């Protein structure tokens, strides 16, 4: 028997229906894996996108991997794979820890090119491209519109710092494009305090007084949301370039008067619907006694018989086709890896299910 642990930023610490559905994609995809005489279990830990919580959860996973209570499987069950994290800075912290036990980690959203260093992160994999390609794409976008001056706003984390540095380096190689300034948001920018407000006010004032033709926001969706809300309030109408972290954010696109902030050009990854998942969501609440499922159903009804316009607040309408699909791919990769490792066909597996975590890579 194989116990497969998953670490994910599912954000149950706050009500987020999309994060909830992404956790359900994991479970749905795991249950789709059919291997003869093999049971795959899972644990999902809520990290809330926080490094310290993620480290604590990872250490708990490693400490309890022989615990018979984990995954409700016998004591021989052990952690083989970790799926997650979402944010690059959290993935980096987790990757350093799980590598000590040669446990493979597959992220579905962490794009920092720093994670491509196989010497530092030998067990890290992902179902999303490195930022190396995204920064090249942003530079090509600027060239296409013949913009000559840009502003780069990053964040004080691995994603924002490495992305901003990469952009600045690439722009410096082209003498026709000038970076007016680079602003790195403080680590606690998301915290609603006086320091954040001062930092935000100063940033908007610099943008107002600049001659830049585009502002590149290479930061988390939460930071971008704060900046764009302030831009709307203060009537700062500019051209914005969105990194993948917030380019498809439903919260930002649904912000009141978002058009007042100006045009937004964004980069997204290839999107695809998870096969059969929408039907699964529509049926998984039938007769459920699960308190968590009931809570989400109360907040967002299924609305299976309503018109398209009437389904905007319905549960199935929140299923995304980017991160959800990449989560699904991560689980499928694990399933295929196990199938090849154990040499399984539809009836039996030639090899024993007892193997080390490093063999899964």
Contacts of 1 (CB under 8 A, 6+ apart): 38, 39, 41, 73, 74, 76, 77, 353
Distance from C-alpha of 79 to C-alpha of 58, rounded to nearest angstrom:
11
Domain membership of residue 3 (yes or no) is: no
151 and 112, same structural domain? no
Domain membership of residue 350 (yes or no) is: yes
Distance from C-alpha of 235 to C-alpha of 261, rounded to nearest angstrom:
7
166 and 69, same structural domain? no
Residue 73 is predicted with a pLDDT of: 44
207 and 124, same structural domain? no
Residue 10 is predicted with a pLDDT of: 43
Domain boundary among 220, 241, 266: 266
262 and 157, same structural domain? yes
335 and 251, same structural domain? no
136 and 123, same structural domain? no
Q: 121-150 burial, b for 16+ CB within 10 Å, e for fewer? A: bebbbbbbebbeebbeebbebbeeeebeeb
- Contact 92/84 with Cβ under 8 angstroms? no
Q: How many domains does the chain have?
A: 2
248 and 136, same structural domain? yes
Residue 70 is predicted with a pLDDT of: 47
Q: Is 126 left (phi over 0), alpha (psi -120 to 50) or beta?
A: beta
- Contact 54/90 with Cβ under 8 angstroms? yes
Q: Is the dihedral of CA 65, 68, 71, 77 positive or negative?
A: positive
Domain membership of residue 5 (yes or no) is: no
115 and 159, same structural domain? no
Nearest to 179 by CA among 133, 209, 213: 213
- Contact 99/122 with Cβ under 8 angstroms? yes
137 and 111, same structural domain? no
139 and 124, same structural domain? no
Residue 72 is predicted with a pLDDT of: 44
90 and 156, same structural domain? no
Distance from C-alpha of 175 to C-alpha of 192, rounded to nearest angstrom:
39
Domain membership of residue 11 (yes or no) is: no
Q: Is the dihedral of CA 330, 332, 335, 336 positive or negative?
A: negative
Cα distances (Å, whole numbers) of residue 296 to 27, 277, 328: 16, 17, 21
Domain that holds residue 262: 131-266
CA-based Rg of the chain, rounded to a whole angstrom? 22
Residue found under tokens 């529509």 = 282
Domain boundary among 215, 249, 266: 266
Q: Could you tell me the CATH number of the domain that includes residue 312?
A: 3.40.50.2300
Residue 358 is predicted with a pLDDT of: 64
Q: What is the pTM of this model?
A: 0.79
150 and 87, same structural domain? no
Task: Show the tokens assigned to 254.
Answer: 């649904």
Task: Show the tokens assigned to 47.
Answer: 């990290």
Q: Is 262 left (phi over 0), alpha (psi -120 to 50) or beta?
A: left
How do the pLDDT tens digits run along the chain, 361 residues long?
Answer: 344 444 454 444 555 777 888 888 988 999 888 888 777 878 888 787 888 888 888 888 777 655 544 444 444 556 678 888 888 889 999 999 988 888 889 999 898 888 999 999 999 999 999 888 899 999 999 999 999 999 999 999 888 998 999 999 989 887 689 999 999 999 888 776 788 889 999 999 999 999 999 999 999 888 999 999 999 999 999 999 999 889 988 889 889 899 999 999 998 888 899 999 888 887 777 766 777 777 777 777 666 554 444 445 677 777 888 889 999 999 999 888 888 888 888 888 887 666 666 666 6
Domain membership of residue 8 (yes or no) is: no
Domain membership of residue 138 (yes or no) is: yes
Domain boundary among 266, 292, 327: 266
């Amino acid at each position: 028997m194989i116990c497969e642990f998953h670490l994910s930023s599912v954000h149950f610490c706050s009500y987020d229906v999309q994060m909830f559905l992404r956790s359900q994609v994991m479970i749905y995809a795991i249950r789709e894996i059919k291997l003869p005489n093999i049971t795959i279990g899972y644990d999902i830990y809520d990290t809330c996108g926080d490094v310290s919580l993620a480290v604590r959860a990872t250490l708990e996973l490693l400490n309890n991997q022989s615990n018979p209570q984990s995954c409700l499987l016998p004591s021989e069950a052990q952690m083989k794979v970790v799926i997650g994290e979402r944010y690059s800075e959290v993935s980096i912290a987790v990757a350093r820890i799980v590598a000590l036990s040669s446990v493979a980690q597959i992220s579905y959203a962490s794009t920092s090119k720093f994670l491509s260093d196989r010497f530092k992160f030998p067990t890290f994999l992902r179902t999303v491209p490195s930022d190396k390609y995204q920064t090249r794409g942003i530079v090509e976008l600027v060239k296409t519109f013949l913009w000559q001056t840009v502003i780069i706003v990053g964040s004080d984390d691995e994603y924002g710092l490495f992305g901003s540095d990469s952009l600045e380096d690439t722009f410096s190689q082209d003498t026709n494009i000038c970076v007016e300034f680079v602003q790195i948001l403080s680590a606690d920018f998301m915290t609603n305090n006086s320091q954040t407000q001062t930092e935000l006010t100063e940033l908007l004032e610099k943008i107002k007084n600049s001659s830049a033709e585009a502002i590149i926001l290479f930061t988390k969706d939460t930071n971008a949301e704060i900046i764009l809300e302030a831009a709307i309030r203060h009537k700062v109408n500019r051209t914005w370039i969105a990194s993948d972290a917030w380019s498809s954010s439903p919260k930002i696109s649904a912000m009141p008067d978002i058009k007042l902030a100006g045009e937004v050009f964004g980069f997204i990854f290839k999107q695809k619907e998870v096969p059969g998942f929408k039907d699964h969501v529509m049926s998984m609440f039938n007769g459920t006694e699960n308190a968590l499922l009931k809570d989400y159903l109360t907040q967002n009804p299924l609305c299976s018989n309503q018109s398209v316009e009437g389904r905007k607040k319905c549960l199935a309408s929140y299923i995304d086709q980017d991160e959800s699909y990449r989560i699904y791919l991560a689980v499928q990769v694990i399933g295929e890896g196990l199938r090849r490792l154990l040499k399984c066909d539809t009836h039996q597996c030639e090899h024993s299910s007892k193997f080390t975590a490093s063999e899964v890579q």
